[in-house]
Structure 1
Amino acid sequence: MGAPKQPLTPLAMAILELLHERPMHPYEMTQIMRYRRVDYRVKLRPGSLYHTVERLDGQALIEVVDTQRQGRRPERTVYGMTELGRDVFAAQAQAMIATPADEYPEFPVALSALSELTKDEGIAQLKMRVMNLKVKIAADEVIIKQVTGDELPPLYWIDYAYSNHQRKSELDFTQRLIADLESGRMPWPDEPEPRLSIVKDENNDKTG
């Protein structure tokens, strides 16, 4: 079986990334992803994870390597990565790193709609965004402090460093935007543009 025709989803990439470490059953994958805060960058729901595991198995990117049973708990299927899975993962990781994706985040769409609000409404919501960004940045930095305290190699948590940097850049942009709107440096559409005063010399207007 050849490589999948469609790119792997972020969740599929996260699953294959885990299986580089060792074979796991889906419940263990879910627990490790939550502990490592993978759900900060990937939509993680138990149903979708099991569905993705089944799809990866059907594509021969992973395979069943064991089954486990503890007491009266349901039997758990343990999956390992195939050579094809390693090759597909590596190829997509290379492409994702090298090529900027055409992504469609919400904030630019919201900014394009900003002028349809009143100035007071717009500034109020931007200030609310600033508060929310500060909360997320603080959460990022708690994780970064934890992993640096554990002396985890920086390359293992580079995704958190990137997200933290991205949020800080957005926070700086949003705060500057608020300052420009409040000062009038960026006029609201229903406000008059700043104009230079033109003083006429009455002598120049006299004739005769």
Structure 2
Amino acid sequence: MVRSRSNPLALAVLSSLRERPMHPYQISATLKQRQKETSVRLNYGSLYSVVRSLLKQGFIEEQGVSQEGNLPQRTVYRITPEGESELVDWMRGLVRVPVKEYPAIEAGLAFLRPVLAPDEAAELLRQRLDRLSGSIETEESRLSQMEETGLPRIFGIETEFALALLRAERDFLTELLASIDDKSIGGYSLWARMHELRRQGVSHAEIAENPEAFLGKTGAMWMTLGETSA
């Protein structure tokens, strides 16, 4: 059977139930207590959907029900041997095999030139960098708290990784913004000219139909090469 492993929440559920049998509310509370919701998108509705899917696939099974005080009875689940195998195999693949991911900022950069003029792009990048600074401070604070409580490094490696990505993005975008501000980025003249023409009412289709007339020979060549490579 070919199984979809696209939902990390299923991985989190299996990992939680490998520790001990739990009902969904306990799984959610455990993940939140350990701040795993920063690495895995967690909401209660999705959690129940994942539990039903894992149950249907035979990776977990009902153990019984539990009740605390006047609260409703809750079904307790435990992982099956098939679930154990699925969890370990899934984890091995995640750690061993790099996969192509599609971060939103990469899509934004891919279509930056044709959609946004240089001045607007620069201002939006400045705003993003401000937000990135806040996110970096949050992750640094989280790491500091872990260190202060004496937790070994292995308990916070996902936070370290998230912080490394944020810092790398900040550094890249800082350099990119500087090259836009001082107009040193390669292709700036073509980029600016394209949007100047658009502001004058010239459509992209008109430019594409006769690029040399609007952009000159070199600009037309750059545009052709850029569109072909994209």
TM-score range, shorter chain: 0.7 to 0.9
Displacement of 1:9 in angstroms is: 1.8
Displacement of 1:8 in angstroms is: 5.6
Structure 1 residues 120 and 164, CA gap change in structure 2 (3 angstroms): same
Residues 100-134 of structure 1, C-alpha deviations (whole Å, 9 max, x = no match): 11211111110122222122211010011101111
Partner secondary structure for residue 20 of structure 1: helix
1:154 aligns with 153
1:37-116 pair list within 5 angstroms: 37-115=35-113, 116=115
User: What TM-score do you get using the length of structure 2 for normalisation?
Assistant: 0.77
Structure 1 residues 4 and 61, CA gap change in structure 2 (3 angstroms): farther
Q: Work out the CA distance in 2 between the residues paired with 1:126 and 1:32.
A: 37
Question: Structure 2: 5+ residue runs without aligned partners?
Answer: 194-230
1:136 aligns with 135
1:34 aligns with 32
Q: Work out the CA distance in 2 between the residues paired with 1:144 and 1:80.
A: 32
Matched AA of 2:120: E
Displacement of 1:150 in angstroms is: 2.2
User: What TM-score do you get using the length of structure 1 for normalisation?
Assistant: 0.85
Residues 82-113 of structure 1, C-alpha deviations (whole Å, 9 max, x = no match): 11111111001111111111211111110122
Question: Structure 1: 5+ residue runs without aligned partners?
Answer: 192-208
Matched AA of 1:164: L
1:202 aligns with none
Identity of paired residues, percent? Answer: 30
Aligned Cα root-mean-square deviation (Å): 1.8
Task: Give aligned pairs, total.
Answer: 190
Q: Work out the CA distance in 1 between the residues paired with 2:15 and 2:62.
A: 17
1:19 aligns with 17
Q: Work out the CA distance in 2 between the residues paired with 1:168 and 1:80.
A: 39
Q: Which has the higher contact order (CA 8 A, sep 6+)?
A: 1
Is the Cα contact below 8 Å between 1:4 and 1:59 reproduced in 2? no
Matched AA of 2:126: K
Displacement of 1:4 in angstroms is: 5.9
Is the Cα contact below 8 Å between 1:65 and 1:78 reproduced in 2? yes
